[in-house]
A and B are shown apart, each in its own frame.
Chain A
Amino acid sequence: MWQKKKTILIVDDEQGLVEALEDALTYEGHIVLKASTAEQALQILKTQHVDLVTIDIMMPPGPSFEADIDSHKTGVFLCQTIKKQYPKLELFVLSVVSDIDTIRTIQKLGVTFLRKGEIPLRTVLDRIKAKLSGLAYSSDWEDDRRKH
């Protein structure tokens, strides 16, 4: 593999999807870490070096955040928190959420939004590869505008 090994954190509670993404990223030569709540994800980021994070929107926030966070938007909270604490970390949102306000909020944070139900895994791998190697992929804002 021409690329240096990178560490990718998958934050998602849907085990089937996580497994498939993990298989593919491992095959590409990456180290994969997993978290199924926002709280777990933030814990991992505190203790380990991570190059890129993929985030689901609808997932459990974790016991300490339960009272304050709507589990239908946990991913938005996680993006905001990570952007504040680790501004240089690359983030991808992988979700089936189709609410346009939520998508806009994510994109305004500079986070790439990919629709989990619509794209092949190959596309996700290509987008991640491009991001990690610093190559520009066409702007996600533009992508989204063309779609609608």
Chain B
Amino acid sequence: MSSKDELNDEVKTSAKLASELEKVKRENAALKAQLEQTKKERIEYLQNVSHQLVAPLNAIKWHIENLTAARVSPERARKVLSSIYSQSTIAVHLAKNFALMSNLEADHSLTALQEPIETVDLYRLMVNLADDFQPLAWDKEVHIKVIPTPLESAPPVLAMKKLISQSFSNIIENAVKYSSKSSDMIISGTHNAKTNTVSVQVSDRGIPLPSDVNLIFERGYRSKEAKSIYPPGTGFGLYIAKRIVEIHEGSISAKTDPSGLVVFTIELSIDKLKGRARERVAKEKDYPDRR
């Protein structure tokens, strides 16, 4: 090889290196921008979380101050107590969501969630949730009605009770929040023997769903209408609801019927989790100290 050729090779190599360096620099800049964006989102999320938790807690504080300073009549005091109850419901609901959210962020497969699998009577669960959210709904004169037949006679489903309850809690809270004033919220359900599933429907009359319905289940998504009615929401409620239903190998969907009724449907299998429940029992036998 002549010295000229060597020189040519060197020039080629250094040109190649320079272009690679440029590429790395560009990638680096893109990653930096991405990191900045993530940081910004995290700050916004935390501010949102704090704003949402502080509001009901502060309302409770002020209500209690009014009660202790005897600024309200005994008759009004009863209403104040009911308001304290509904504000506490919101605070607990939000705190549970935020705890779940950090689990979801930490482990995308969610296999690490070691919640017990047990039989859940969906009718009773709906009645309890309706009772919990009714005081909040009364603020908007919204009546939550749980229709007993035929859900009452549906067999119980195998589920992680705490999680599935939070999933329904999110659907119901969402429906209460965006219901029109003085409307009815209907919860009903049926057992489908063919598919061995129980499906529950939560319907309300309020702001319409976006044309691309699936968007509402995306992490952080909030429709323009939702933001204009309630600015500080996180857009995590329905996302969490969907993730939980997916862990249960069930399905969740939403649609607007021709009359404008917004209907959420959750379908859960009665015994799909049986295998998983058995697996867990076996594991716990092998590692008795793990609990």
Contact = CB atoms under 8 A, between A and B. Distances in A.
B58 A60 contact: no
B88 to A, nearest CB: 10
A117 interface: yes
Nearest to A27: B71
Interface size class of A (residues with CB under 8 A): 20 to 34
Interface in B27-76: 47, 50-51, 54-63, 65-66, 69, 71-72, 76
Interface stretch (A2-10, A12-20, A79-87, A133-141): A12-20
Given A60-B230, A117-B54, A16 B63 contact: yes
A71 B228 contact: yes
Given A16-B83, A96-B54, A121 B62 contact: yes
Contacts of A13: 230-231
B217 to A, nearest CB: 22
Nearest to A58: B231
Contacts of B228: 60-61, 63, 66, 71
B254 interface: no
A74 B59 contact: no
A19 B63 contact: yes
Contacts of B231: 13, 58-60, 71-72, 74
B50 to A, nearest CB: 8
A23 interface: yes
B139 interface: yes
B58 A24 contact: no
Nearest to B224: A66
Interface string B195-232: 00000000000000000000000000000100111111
A123 B80 CA distance: 20
A21 B58 CA distance: 11
Nearest to A15: B139
Interface of A: 13-17, 19-21, 23-24, 27, 58-61, 63, 66, 71-72, 74, 96-98, 116-117, 120-122
Given A23-B80, A27-B72, A58-B231, 12 more contacts: A13-B231, A14-B55, A16-B60, A16-B83, A19-B83, A20-B62, A27-B66, A58-B232, A74-B231, A96-B51, A96-B58, A116-B54
